[in-house]
Amino acid sequence: MQTAISVEQIRKDFPILQRKVRKDKNLVYLDNAATTQKPIQVINAITDFYTNHNSNIHRAVHALAEEATEAYEMTRDKIAKFLNIKDRQEIVFVRGTTEAINLVAYAWGRQNIKEGDIIVTTEYEHHSNIVPWQLLTQEKKAKLEYIAIDDNGELILDQLDQYLATGKVKLVAVSQMSNVLGTITDVDAIISKCKKAGVRVLIDGAQSVPHMKVDLDALGCDFFAFSGHKMLGPTGVGVLWAKKELLEQMAPFHGGGDMIREVHKYETTWNDLPYKFEAGTPNIADVIGFAAAIDYLNNIGMDYVRAHEIEITKYALDKLSQINGIKLYGTSDMSKRGGVISFNFADIHPHDLATIIDEDGIAIRSGHHCAQVLMEKLDIAATSRASFYIYNTKEEVDVLINSLSRAARLFKL
Amino acid sequence: MSGNADIYHEMIVDYSRHPSNFGKIENPTIQYHDSNPLCGDSIDIYMNVDGDKVSDIKFSGRGCAICLACTSVLTEIVKGKTIEDARKIQKNDVLGELGLENLQAVRIKCALLSLKVLKYGLYSYLASKDANADALKQEASSLY
């Protein structure tokens, strides 16, 4: 039996949450969809690595190299367990979700996408799940198509059927949770449709893996990408997971050390998976730090994470909807929504709003959130976005609500 | 000024709701556009040149209150000035009018986008006429 976890206990593990900003204000950090704060356990793991174990990995035989290699590889095992991945060789360390998607676009896409083929993505993707496909389809004279969203911010999946019916679709690339609207994608339906049509599926899990239980074995997609820094881990670490048969067929992404078996003057053979895709000295310390983040999340449990976010998000949506002039985006059905709230406040530009409430120590994001295709669809230049994580409290939501009324006064709403 | 929110005084808020010289000029002598990629502020400036004077100036686009207020003030300063005087306008000529001299670094691009557009616009007009036009381009690119 797991003992009850309190948000107060969790907050004590995050040194940054104890600091003041803008002179004497408590930090109210509501920009978790951009990056999360780090618990002391992660900070200590990185410090411990550099203090006691620092070494390059995989080749040297000395004691430090052995310790560093073991710790680095242990993260891979922890990720396998965390996401129910059966084969650890399918886990490739990259810098983040962006690099993972670019790896697939380059190494799989260039081999498999031909003139006239179609790649399908959605209107609520982050630029990292749009631009790599634009580059690829332009190079190959292929086509990029979008599944549109409805007024609730949910995908109109009938459009996927229409694209699949052309017989030209080779890949569907979709995020499991929108970073702007918080919409949770019905990836099961998408994957099942694509499987029937023999079409590959890439899932961008940057916003989902940190916030809900994900089982890659059950999911059955072909490629899956996510980042460590949005789930308590350090920046500069992410994962590409792909089916082994695909990774085996794919050409390497980067050439260099560690990804080779034998190098001769004019030819090279590749190392085994996953090392074929991990050229050069990797981000050893941060990969090791990431393991501490996974331990932390395992300890509190992903069910707790999701339940806590639903509670806070519901509370915030309720409070925000009572303010005159607030326009909320996305669905109010919490079973289809993560802890992300995008909104606009009357005619106050989101950048002005963010500056005003920053005075009260509140960190929110304002802008297009790297989702300009979605902004165009919604016909707005920007939104303000509050996004929650395990350490946020209802009191912090109240601070936000009070600060919004100050902004209303300044702008004479 | 004690805090950043103090920048949202009455003048800024009023300008953001009722910007000066907002609109377009058909077939202007000079037109230039630029945007800030990270925040989406987007400004077009249109100018008519009559002899050596900027006889009319308007702007269109969208942006935050800081951006719209600064663009309003800039167009007010430029209107009726000679090209020679317009090209000498410095950032504090605009920021000073609105008490924004100490604007935080992350927002300075909102305030100076229009000055950048003006300088590039004047450069595009003067490039073939004035041997020293390059200096304007340099100033524009080093504003922020």
The catalytically annotated residue of A68, A370, A371, A390 is: A370
- Nearest CB to A356; choose among B5, B17, B104: B5
- pLDDT attached to residue A3: 57
Cβ atoms of A353 and B39 within 8 Å: the answer is no
Our CA-based measurement puts residue B63 at a distance from the nearest CA of chain A, in whole angstroms, of: 7
pLDDT tens readout for residues A358-394:
999 999 999 999 999 999 999 998 999 999 999 999 9
A61-68: average pLDDT: 96
Task: State the count of interchain CB pairs (< 8 A) between A and B.
Answer: 53
pLDDT tens readout for residues A13-22:
999 999 999 9
Our CA-based measurement puts residue A28 at a distance from the nearest CA of chain B, in whole angstroms, of: 17
Print pLDDT tens along chain B (144 aa): 445 668 899 999 999 999 999 999 999 999 999 998 877 789 999 999 999 999 999 999 999 999 999 999 999 999 999 999 999 999 999 999 999 999 988 899 999 999 999 999 999 999 999 999 999 999 999 998
Distance between CA B82 and CA B49 in Å, rounded?
9
- pLDDT attached to residue A274: 96
Q: Label residue A59 by pLDDT band (50, 70, 90).
A: confident
- pLDDT attached to residue A108: 98
3-state secondary structure chain A: CCCCCCHHHHHHCCHHHHCEECCCEECEECECCCCCCCCHHHHHHHHHHHHHHCCCCCCCCCHHHHHHHHHHHHHHHHHHHHCCCCCHHHEEEECCHHHHHHHHHHHHHHHHCCCCCEEEEECCCCHHHCHHHHHHHHHHCCEEEEECECCCCCECCHHHHHHHHCCCEEEEEEECECCCCCEECCHHHHHHHHHHHCCEEEEECCCCCCCCCCCHHHHCCCEEEEECHHHCCCCCCEEEEECHHHHHHCCCCCCCCCCEEEECCCCEEECCCCHHHCCCCCCHHHHHHHHHHHHHHHHHCHHHHHHHHHHHHHHHHHHHHCCCCEEECCCCCHHHECCEEEEEECCECHHHHHHHHHCCCEECEEECCCCHHHHHHHCCCCEEEEECCCCCCHHHHHHHHHHHHHHHHHCCC
A22 to chain B: closest CA residue: B3
A233-240: average pLDDT: 98
| Inter-chain CB proximity A352 and B65 less than 8 Å | yes
Task: Output the six-digit token pair for A121.
Answer: 């993505």
Interface test with B, best of A25, A127, A351 (most B CBs within 10 A): A351
pLDDT tens readout for residues A156-186:
999 999 999 999 999 999 999 999 999 999 9
Q: Is the per-residue pLDDT at A140 higher than 60?
A: yes
**Residues of chain A neighbouring B36 (CB-CB closer than 8 A):** none
- pLDDT attached to residue B1: 41
- pLDDT attached to residue B3: 57
pTM, to two decimals: 0.94
Our CA-based measurement puts residue B132 at a distance from the nearest CA of chain A, in whole angstroms, of: 37
pLDDT tens readout for residues A107-134:
999 999 999 999 999 999 999 999 999 9
Q: For chain B, positions 44-83, list CB contacts with chain A under 8 A.
A: 62-66
| Inter-chain CB proximity B65 and A358 less than 8 Å | no
- pLDDT attached to residue B4: 63
| Inter-chain CB proximity B66 and A410 less than 8 Å | no
Quickly tell me which residue has 């000295």 as its tokens.
A281
Q: What phi and psi, each to the nearest 5 degrees, are found at residue A204?
A: -90, 105
Our CA-based measurement puts residue A112 at a distance from the nearest CA of chain B, in whole angstroms, of: 33
